[in-house]
Amino acid sequence: MLAQLYIHNIAVIERASIELDRGFTVLTGETGAGKSIIIDAIHAILGERTSKELIRTGTDAASVSALFTGLEPDALQLLESLSIPMEEDGTLLIQRDIRLSGRSTCKLNGAPATVSMLKEIGARLISIHGQHESYELLSPEVHMTYIDSFARLDGLRSEYQASYRRLRVLQGELEDFNTDEGEKARMLDLLRYQIDEIEAAAIQPGEQENLSQERDAIRNSEKISASVELAKVLLAGDEDRGGILSDVEQAASEMEKTASFLPEAGEAAQKLREASYLLEDADSTLHSLSVDFDPSALDAIEDRLDLLYRLGLKYGGSEEKILAYLADCQARLHAIEFSDEERERLEAEYEEEKGKAIALAKELSQKRKEAASAFSQQVKKELAFLNMPGLAFQVEIQRVPLNSSGCDKLQFLVSANKGEPAKPMSKIASGGELSRIMLAVKTVLSGMDKVDTLIFDEVDTGISGSAANRVGEKLKQVSHNRQVLCITHLAQIAAMADHHLFINKRTDKERTFTQVEPLDFEGRKQELARIISGESVTELQLQMAEEMLKKP
């Protein structure tokens, strides 16, 4: 459950720490006191979109923190899968900061998190039902989700949707085979030409670089030969002079003789002898170098490089890319040449998957019909309790072609007057009726999920009198196994709560502040009397409020 909510610099709320308990809690206050801001703050920690407009004027950042206790096993499992560190007492602290700069930061038990992670875990912690969601009841798409949730069809629906997605993929692949024969023939000619051209070149990876080096060597053959010959002379000498090799050998011998008289010369002798060996190796390497180049090979190399260059422009810049293009062409050619066999395979797979999808869709449809009957009966029972016994409620299911939801078109129909045919809610229900229908639907669905905290935002809109009493009783009933928070303007509902929070707005030095105060019995009596009377509270209204609070 939501145990604590801390709000800082959200609109008119400078700082508020709200302690919450199990059972039924109401929040009341004057219109504009800031009740909706608390809902906005809760939406923020649930990962909903926020706006910089929420930040209190004169500040550059706002924050919301929420502490949850007694988490359900599926919520704990999700946190573990998200690698969120867990506290020893099993609590979860969600934090969200909003800045004027536009950046928003989120944390789960102190660990950095994304908004999508907040939204994912938030769906398992809190369910908010407000006027906006009441109007969502006008959308048939929402009706489908309600029936599926009531019938616990998540697994079956997911299995069907996976089959339907696969069916659409196979359908797309089959449509690709419907290319006209003329286009297919042109494609075959092009692929065969490209394959023949690349295969005829017999390309070897790395040959372009090797050929370029060989070409450069031939072009500079005279310089290479002259340099090699000069190096040989400098090392070994010629008829006119000795080379440095003999000079170094002589120097090494002299130092070796001197070392017997001057030990310090031994190191110089050793280094000179090592240099002599290295020079001998270099001289041997120079004599093994091949400096005989065939100028007549230059034209053939240039032609080969030109071919590789042209192929590179057409099919890729390197030998590897050209060969990869060749492999792709061969695969495409094979697919076209054997398209009839491939088409037959795909058609068989398509028909098999179609049969599977149809069977799953029919199973979904049958279970929805069974659930719709039970759902309608339970909703009508709840509506009767909420002082709407004359409202006829039914679920209409029509067969439609396969789509992502199955083979059903589903919507809720109502009739507010006996004898009148049931029609879609968008044409019948008023705002007050929608609020009670939504409460009835949510009551029926309350046992279908494991969300521990339900928030009703002004669910009493458009109702009064005995209907308000019944709504309060229903909220009280739902709170027996859930934490229920309700923002209300009705004294009948507020009087039935286990806990009462008062939202109070005040002005100090031309700044507006909102406070959230828990009320004791006397405080609740004063607040109920205010709700009943408006501005001035009389003794009679206080007595009425006290009677309402003491009523079992």
CA distances 522 to 33, 216, 534, Å, are 21, 101, 18
What are 214-251's pLDDT values in tens digits? 787 777 766 777 777 777 777 777 766 777 888 788 88
Strand partners, 144: none
Maximum separation of any 2 CA atoms in the chain, in Å: 136
Strand partners, 25: 485, 499
Evaluate whether 28 touches 38 at the Cβ level (below 8 Å): no
What are 373-419's pLDDT values in tens digits? 999 999 999 888 888 878 888 999 999 999 999 999 999 998 877 77
How does DSSP classify residue 489?
Answer: S
What are 73-120's pLDDT values in tens digits? 888 888 989 889 988 888 999 999 998 887 789 999 999 999 999 988
Tokens for 36, please give them: 């909706």
CA nearest neighbour of 378 among 454, 442, 461 = 442
What are 445-479's pLDDT values in tens digits? 876 666 888 888 877 776 777 778 888 888 888 88
The domains located in the chain, with CATH, are: 1-128+482-516 (3.40.50.300), 198-334 (no CATH), 520-552 (no CATH)
Please count the CA atoms within 13 angstroms of the CA of 391 that sit on its side-chain side.
26
Strand partners, 395: 412
As a whole-number percent, the residues of the chain with pLDDT over 70 amount to: 93
Q: What is the C-alpha end-to-end distance of the chain, expressed in Å?
A: 26
How does DSSP classify residue 54?
Answer: G
What are 123-165's pLDDT values in tens digits? 889 888 766 666 667 778 888 988 998 999 989 999 999 999 9
Residue with tokens 């390197």: 318
What are 414-449's pLDDT values in tens digits? 887 777 788 887 776 566 677 778 878 888 887 666
